[in-house]
Amino acid sequence: KAGVTQTPRYLIKTRGQQVTLSCSPISGHRSVSWYQQTPGQGLQFLFEYFSETQRNKGNFPGRFSGRQFSNSRSEMNVSTLELGDSALYLCASSSMPGGEQYFGPGTRLTVT
Q: How many other C-beta atoms lie within 10 A of the C-beta of residue 109? A: 20
From 20, 37, 79, 95, residue interacting with other proteins (rule: CB under 8 A): 37
Please report whether residue 98 would count as binding other proteins according to CB under 8 A: yes
CA dist., res. 89 & res. 87, Å (int):
6
Distance of CA 3 to the CA centre of its chain: 15
Determine whether 97 is exposed, middle or buried from the number of CB atoms within 10 Å of its CB (0-12, 13-18, 19+).
middle
Among 23, 30, 32, 48, binds other proteins (CB under 8 A): 48
* Number of residues counted as binding other proteins (CB under 8 A): 22
CB 37 within 8 A of CB 43: yes
- Per-residue x/- mask for other proteins, residues 55 to 94, rule CB under 8 A? -x-x-----------------------------x-x-x--
Judged by the rule CB under 8 A, the positions of this chain that interact with other proteins are 33, 35, 37, 42-45, 48, 56, 58, 88, 90, 92, 98-103, 105-106, 108
